[in-house]
Structure formats: structure tokens, C-alpha cells
Chains A and B, each alone.
Chain A
């Protein structure tokens, strides 16, 4: 057989097309064998860019010194005179948080308010979720829609609306004075009560929805089995329904507890100056004091406080995923 003439040099365009073709084939081979990795890379990339990088920026700022400059904090890495690379890490901000009783007090108060709100949400949300699950299928969808309906309005607007309801000359006081129950307005707004009301109102759906999702999966024949074995309805609830809805309770409680601890809008608008919560302090350090490093330290400290409940949530979530564990 005569040797084939080398035509690549004679037809350069054909060679380029061949190279493009080869590259495409390689890529599709790669995509076919690595599609799992490629798919999973997308959310990881997202988390990296939008969560992890900002977190490290905040961490960096918390370890810096406040300056009157732009940006208003010292750089982490700077070139000293000559060639030496200098890394400056300052823990003063965190020490400050511990020294000043105000911060510790505020953290504790935030935790107290979010804990009480979570318990209130659970006490109110559990029966609601249970009633929705037991409702006939048609009504169930409407009831679920009603739970989600508030999300169609801005959160901020809804909190503002409470000001109108709770104010000294607001809806409630006007009504009570009109009926003659009181003759002086009762202080409702700018109190801890108003903050509790706001948090419970705003976060209740986050309690109800995971509870609903959990209860919906619950096998109704388990209740029948308990009843058949001689359990009164109340006993059935405490021995069967409640233990099996623990994953839903944990999920709902943490979905309320975690954001409520760092809540800023509700204590600011409904609590005024009377309720101290960490979100408000953070806002103050950042906006009023222009002390970015302390504000960043407050944020990091809040994260540390919430790591424990977040890990708990993770633990229960993965347990939920385990096949056959609860069913």
C-alpha cells in the first residue's frame, strides 16, 4: 500500500475543523464520564462565591483595626518598608465584645427572645399543621395557601403594618377606648411584647411548613394501630404522633430560632429603643459608629453562638434522609 500523502499542510482550514471536532469530542467524552462531578460543582461554586468568600471577608474585617479611611479598617496584609510582608491580626474587637457587658447582655437577651418566640411558634404552629394535615384534601390546599399568602407582601410592609395596629393611637387602642374598656391608651408598641408578637407572626410559617411536611408523611394507620391496642386519643398523641414528629419540630424550631436570634427589622421597628437585640447592635456599630471591625466581630460572634443549633439541624436533617429510619 502506498503511503498516504500528508494533506494537513495543504488544507489548513480542514485541519482547523478537525481540531475543533477533536476538541468537541474530547469535551463530550469528559462530560459523559464526569457529569456527576460537573453537576455537583455548580452548587458548590455558588456556595463558594456567595457564602464562603463573603464570610472570609467579614472574618478578615473583624480581625482588623478601625481607621478613619476608606475602607474604614486596616488591611490584613501590607508591604512594610523594604520587602517584608506583614500580616496584622488584631483580636481587640473580640476582647471588646467580652469586656463590655452590653454586648454579652444583648446576646443573652437575643437568645431569650428567640427561644421564647420559638416555643410560642411551636405551641401555635403544631396544632395548625396538625389540623391542615387532617383537613380534607381540597381544604388542605387552601389552608396551605393561606399560610404562604403573607409572603406575597413585603416582610417590611407587614412589620410596618403592626406599628399601625399597636400604636398608642392605633387600631387596638382606638377600639378598646371606643368600647370603653380603657380610657388611656395602653403601651403596646416599643415593648418586648411587640417584638414577640412581630417575631411569632413573621416566623410562624417557617414552623408550620416543615411540621406539615413531616406530619403529611406520617402513616395514619399507626394512629389506628395505637387506638386498636387500647390507647385513648391523647395517649396516641403522646406515644405515637409526637415522637414521630420530632424531626419536624426540630426543623421548624431551628428555622425560627436561627433567624430570630439575629433579627434586626422587628426589634428596630416594633421594639424601638426598649428592646436590645444583637441585630440592632450590629446595625448600630456599622452605620452609626462606622466601626466596621467591631460590627464584623459582632457578626462572627453571632455565627459562633448559632453554630451549635445549626449543627443540630444538620444532624436531624441527615437522619431524616436515612431510608426507613422513621418509616
Chain B
């Protein structure tokens, strides 16, 4: 075996979704869910692989929770099929699925202590008593709650409750763990810490995690892959970097992070170089950006650039290959580790000619200097520049 193929196999082991031959662990095929006239989930196709930490990301009402509830068995798809590990689960009731869920509210039984809460699922499976005791103790020590077995849920802090809920869902060793907004109820500090604990735990146990979240940062840090949902549909599936760096639509780009856009028209398409040239009124010469397969010369297109990919300087950048704009700092927000600048570029914006000045471009920059030594201030004239291949083409 050559080293090249072994490297490729490793890639497939870690990223099975790149391997056309890999068999998905969970298959969601043509699933829709309607409540009366309202369509909560519409024609969703999704393959999730064993050991993934997969996020369903979207705003409220986008259908992500309904999709999760269909995986848990609390809802039945109106049409479509769900299989888990090659077993058809479309109609199976929740108590017959190899799946456990961690609820957003944690749903701990208030009349049982921590140990009884965790043991509940094992008792239902008629696991022998001494084995229940062993497994409960084991999982409680894993979430560092071994001292808290006799406490009632109302005697615990929010973070401790979250860990009990996690332990209760994991103790049955499910094939899939569903997590509904697992970190939403925690404060920011605890959330960051728990995020890493969750990732470590997942890696150690190898259980497939499916996380529902509205928090794009959470999805970015946790996930192997993200499915972005909107109005019941999945609008993009990809690895965090892919979804962030090459969002398919303006909606996704806006939902995940911030974005600056420029209207333009495609001048030429160079298939060999994988580039296309886009002319925008905001720029003096056409910009070369990575090609999108189905775009042709003459078509309208939108150029997009993330705020952190823009360089800002007082002097004109020398490199002529950069996309360059000049403007004035109109707003400045100091965030501690970084600052957000809003720069009004000279001239009229490309999209209109109403004489009210150019587009406002948002730039984020790390605070390399202490705030009292900051060299760009309000009303300063600045140059904005970026490498054109860091920008991308958006469709609406």
C-alpha cells in the first residue's frame, strides 16, 4: 500500500462523508413533517456517519427541533423514512429506539434523586441490580458527580443538572445521542468549558451525537459537520470551515457570522484556473475570485467578504492584486480582544446612486496594540484591502 492511499484512507476514516463508498449510520430520506397546514420539516435528506458530532443549526422555527424529535420518536414523519444502523425507525416508538435524548430543559425527574434518575433507563431494561449500581457509579464519576447521587435535582446547580441529564442519556450506551440545545441554559463561561467536555466525552465514547443549536459559534466549535436549516429545509451541509468560508447563499452567510457584499457582473470565466473575473462598480478593475461551477459570463453575481479577512491601513497597500477601497471610519466598537470598525467607502455604493455616500463595510481586527495606542480612530481615512481569493460569490 502506498503512503498516498493510506493517507486517503485516514481521511475517509475521519471524514467518511467524503467517501462515496462509506455507509451512513443514520439515513433520513425524503422526510417531511406537517402539523395541519404548517410544514415544520420539508423534504429533508441527510446522511450521518458513525461517530460524528453533527449539528442541526438554524433560527427558531426552522424545523431543527422537529427533525430531532422525529429521530427520538416523539414525532412521526408525515412522509419519508428514517433508518438507524440499517434498522427502519420511522414508526418505532421512543422506548424501542437505540437512541437517547438530552432535553433542553434537562427533564430530570424531580421526585427522584440523581442516582435514581440515572438508573431509570437501566431499570427499564431490567439490568441486574448490582450492574445498575456499577454503571451508575461509573457514569456519575465520568461527569464528576459521584458525590451527588443522593441529591434531588432541585438541590443542584444548572451546570450539575446538565451533567446529570447527560449521564442519564449516556448510561444506556445508546447508538445515537440527541442533544437539544445542550448548552443554552448555561452561562457563557460554563458553556465554553462544557463545550470541550462534551467533545472529549464524545471522542472517548465514540457515540454518534446529533446536536440541535441556534448558536452558530457552538455549532462551529463542536461539530464534525453542520446542517444549516431554514423554513423546514436543509440549505447547506458541510464541515464548519466549509459552511463558514463558502456559504451557499446570502442567508447562510448572514446567519453564520457577518458578511460584506458588493453587487457585480461576471466578465469572464476561466475554467482552467478555477477563477472568474467579476466587475463591481465599487472597484476600478475586475476582481479574480474562485469560480462557482454554474455561473457564466454576463451573469449578475454578488461578491462577499468576511469582516476579519479585510486588512486596514492608513497608507495605500502596494500590492496591485489586492481588492482595494478607500473610506472613512464612522463607527468603532472595542470588544477587548478585537475591534469592529465600520468604514464608509468613498463614492456612491455600487447598488445605488443616491448620493448618500458609499457602502458601509464592516471590518474586524485583532487588537494588536493596547487600546491607548490604537492607531486607527474615528473619522480616520483608511484603506481597506483583501486578497480576492479570500472572497467568494454568493447567490440569493
Contacts and interface: CB of A to CB of B under 8 A. Distances in A.
Contacts of B307: none
Contacts of A219: 105, 107
Given A244-B110, A244-B111, A324-B154, A229 B100 contact: yes
Nearest to A325: B154
Interface string A263-282: 00000000000000000000
A228 B110 contact: no
A228 B95 contact: yes
B94 interface: yes
**Size bracket, chain B contacts:** 20 to 34
A116 interface: no
B103 A229 contact: no
B110 A225 contact: no
A227 B95 CA distance: 5
A184 interface: no
Given A228-B74, A228-B99, 13 more contacts: A227-B74, A227-B94, A228-B95, A228-B169, A229-B95, A229-B121, A229-B172, A230-B125, A239-B120, A240-B109, A244-B111, A324-B154, A325-B110
Given A230-B172, A324-B154, A325-B154, A225 B95 contact: no
**Size bracket, chain A contacts:** 20 to 34
A226 interface: yes
A220 to B, nearest CB: 9
Interface of A: 219, 221-222, 224-232, 235, 239-240, 243-244, 324-327
Given A230-B95, A230-B172, A325-B154, A225 B124 contact: no
A245 to B, nearest CB: 10
Interface of B: 72-74, 93-95, 99-101, 103, 105, 107-111, 120-121, 124-125, 154, 168-169, 172
Contacts of A221: 103, 105, 107
Contacts of B101: 224-225, 228
A225 B125 contact: no
A224 B111 contact: no
Contacts, number: 65
Contacts of B107: 219, 221-222, 224-225
21 contacts: A219-B105, A221-B103, A224-B74, A224-B94, A224-B103, A225-B101, A225-B107, A226-B109, A227-B73, A227-B94, A228-B73, A228-B99, A228-B100, A229-B100, A229-B120, A229-B124, A229-B168, A231-B120, A324-B110, A325-B110, A327-B110
B103 A225 contact: yes
A227 B110 contact: no
A137 to B, nearest CB: 14
A149 to B, nearest CB: 30
A228 B125 contact: no
A243 B111 contact: yes
Given A221-B103, A225-B103, A324-B154, A230 B124 contact: yes
B111 A326 contact: yes
A219 to B, nearest CB: 7
Pairs A-B, 4 closest by C-beta atoms = A229-B121, A230-B124, A225-B107, A324-B154
Nearest to B126: A230
A228 B124 contact: no
B109 A222 contact: yes
Nearest to A236: B95
Nearest to A218: B110
Nearest to A232: B95
From B101, B103, B124, residue with most partner A Cβ within 10 Å: B124
A146 to B, nearest CB: 26
Contacts of B100: 228-229
